[in-house]
Structure 1
Amino acid sequence: MNLQDMPSLAPTQLELPLPTGTPGESFNEPAADGFILGGFTWRHANQDPTRPVVIINAATSVRCRHYSRFADYLFTNGFDVITYDYRGIGESRPASLKGLEASWSDWGALDFEAMLQRAQREFAQQPINVVGHSFGGCAAGLGTSGHVIRRLVTVGAQFAYWRDYAPAHRWRMFGKWHVVMPLMTMLYGYFPGKRLGWLEDTPAGVVRDWSMPTARYEKRPSGRVIHTKNSQLPFANVTAKTLAISLSDDPYGTIPAIERLLDYFTGSTNTHLRITPADIGEEKVGHFAFFRSAYQATLWPIALSWLQTGELAPDTPGRRVPRS
């Protein structure tokens, strides 16, 4: 198969460069198994135990640099911020992805957990909040220290069950992510997403988790490992006040997909906010665009308000989805 003949189906152009003048400083942090993770910290000069620190969990195979403008926004509004890349991606990529058996559960149970540990060490006694995009919202429930999270905001968060994809896009997305992606991974030993213009290159274990057509996370390949070791998945450890934001034109983050993930967060108080592009005077937003600086005046304040107060402002656009 000739990679040059494959079409680029990336739904939105990502913003990758760090903003000019950012206070972000690079760091390396070992996970519990010794794998070195790379990321960036936005840190205020003065220490304040009342100032929250926010950890940003990226979407599957999206570099943490995509969230740098949003991190800078949170920093400007009084937060310390940590962004990082999961193993195999961006700042945490080894020389070769062949043979790297990183999985979704590794990204949560090892990599996100390492950031929770780092936040407790580097920002001792400060409240810890989390923002999770797409799979990053799932990763927020996989760390064993999830009980330390005070507030959680997720955006389009789900774990890619194909029947939850928007009906108008379902079969195209199934072919792309559940047929082409695993076949290409078998051929190359990892998914060469960057050359296709789809995602960053992605470890084979993550592809196996994503492409498995099952509605239960504990039945994904790496989810089975966690469930075998522990009768209860770590999601229940999270007691944070949780806001799940979804966009009506996001083909991944449909209402069933968002609710499916929220059902795992049994220990937290969960609010699902559904926003249409028209609610903010736009024609489209989709799955990736929330964190683009174009939405600083419309979408970002929603997340900011929740991180600050744990509540939605009275004039927040969108509607609350009733929880069953």
Structure 2
Amino acid sequence: MEELVLTTQDNISITAHLFLPEKNDHKILLINSATGVKQQVYFSFAQYFARQGFTVITYDYRGIGLSKPAHMKGFDASMRIWGSRDYKTLTKYIRTRFPVYKKYCLGHSVGALILGMNEDSEIFEEFIFVGTQNAFVGNLKLKTKIEAYLGFGIVQPVTTGLLGYFPAHWFGLGESLPKNCAYDWRTLILNKKSTNRLLDKIDDHSKKLTQKVFVIRAEDDVWLTEKGVKSLLNDTYPNLRPTYRLVKVSESEKKEIGHVNFFRSYNEKLWNVILNVIK
């Protein structure tokens, strides 16, 4: 594992890790993280794919994990910046260092939503979506819908306004987020256009993507619904060619997958679900 520090077009340092295989199959997998999820969560998964011959890259968006500033209040970041600058810095690096490799990108949650914010998404042969959807409350189940209205309608804007950033860890929602990342997340939940509303505010390349995409949804992911997943593929990425896979709780050794735990080492047996598609 090799640590990389890459510099964005606006001079922000993005910390990434490169996992190199012993037997190189000249395939590269970029992992776009979920909101507030540090790249270390994906290390076991990355090491597994490196053992299968893949070069793998993980990274933290600005404001998260190893790419976090000393002070969050007033730090300029948004999900739109994650897609158009941070993710773009990684694709630029991949184009330069691995020009002839077969390229794959895994988008976990928001990591799939930002693909349309970067024209370089065209370099990937195939995408893997894990735990992602158009997260509008209208697509959610009743209990989650109520939690979303309370959390994103009241608690999140109030705490973000008071502190100048969103202390997501107080609510079990991962790493603290820069203010505008939190507000973009709120848009995804409360605006009926969801992802498309963020794309309205930026150069939108989502309709140009025509690759295959393997879409994974965990049976016990309470924040995800089939309706929301289909909305993302039909309304945001209508020209991608999806194959869907529902991963059942019974397939997990711990009977636990949820929104993040697909990537935990105890679910290593599930990773063949992806390997068998892109090997």
**TM over 0.5, yes or no?**
yes
What is aligned with 2:258? 286
What is aligned with 2:113? 138
Please, which of 224, 235, 241 is the counterpart of residue 200 of structure 2?
A: 224
What is aligned with 2:154? 179
Between the aligned partners of 2:147 and 2:82, the Cα distance in structure 1 is 27
Is the Cα–Cα contact under 8 Å of residues 128 and 149 in structure 1 kept in the other structure? yes
What is aligned with 1:87? 62
Stretches (4+) displaced over 6 A: none
Between the aligned partners of 1:171 and 1:121, the Cα distance in structure 2 is 46
Between the aligned partners of 1:67 and 1:218, the Cα distance in structure 2 is 24
Between the aligned partners of 2:247 and 2:35, the Cα distance in structure 1 is 22
What is aligned with 2:240? 268
What is aligned with 2:272? 301
Q: Normalization by structure 1: what TM-score?
A: 0.79
Please, which of 126, 129, 134 is the counterpart of residue 104 of structure 2?
A: 129
1:43 aligns with 2:15: no
| TM-superposed deviation, 1:176 | 2.2
Between the aligned partners of 1:275 and 1:192, the Cα distance in structure 2 is 31
Between the aligned partners of 1:192 and 1:144, the Cα distance in structure 2 is 32
What is aligned with 2:140? 165
- Correspondence list, 1:63-82, <5 A: 63-82=38-57
What is aligned with 1:107? 82
| TM-superposed deviation, 1:201 | 1.0
Is the Cα–Cα contact under 8 Å of residues 134 and 195 in structure 2 kept in the other structure? no
Is the Cα–Cα contact under 8 Å of residues 117 and 199 in structure 2 kept in the other structure? no
Could you say if the C-alpha distance between residues 282 and 194 of structure 1 is closer, same or farther in structure 2, counting changes exceeding 3 Å?
A: closer
Between the aligned partners of 2:253 and 2:11, the Cα distance in structure 1 is 47
Number of aligned positions between the proteins: 276
Amino acid across the alignment from 1:38: T
* 1:70-119 C-alpha deviation (Å, 9 max, x unpaired): 00011011100110001100111111111123111111111111111111
| TM-superposed deviation, 1:200 | 0.5
Mean Cα deviation higher: 166-175 or 90-99: 166-175
What 5-or-longer segments of structure 2 have no aligned partner?
none
* 1:4-55 C-alpha deviation (Å, 9 max, x unpaired): xxxxxxxxxxxxxxxxxxxx21111112222211110112467x6x511100
Point out the structure with the larger helix share.
Answer: 2
SS for the counterpart of 1:145 is helix
| TM-superposed deviation, 1:223 | 3.2
What is aligned with 1:26? 3
| TM-superposed deviation, 1:219 | 5.9
Between the aligned partners of 2:39 and 2:3, the Cα distance in structure 1 is 12
SS for the counterpart of 2:128 is strand
What 5-or-longer segments of structure 1 have no aligned partner?
1-23, 309-324
Between the aligned partners of 1:141 and 1:177, the Cα distance in structure 2 is 24
Between the aligned partners of 2:115 and 2:151, the Cα distance in structure 1 is 26
Amino acid across the alignment from 1:224: D
Amino acid across the alignment from 2:267: Y
Between the aligned partners of 1:218 and 1:285, the Cα distance in structure 2 is 24
Is the Cα–Cα contact under 8 Å of residues 132 and 153 in structure 1 kept in the other structure? yes
Mean Cα deviation higher: 105-114 or 163-172: 163-172
* 1:196-245 C-alpha deviation (Å, 9 max, x unpaired): 5431010111111111211214664x43321xxx4xx2112323210110
Is the Cα–Cα contact under 8 Å of residues 134 and 157 in structure 1 kept in the other structure? yes
Q: Normalization by structure 2: what TM-score?
A: 0.92
Amino acid across the alignment from 1:275: V
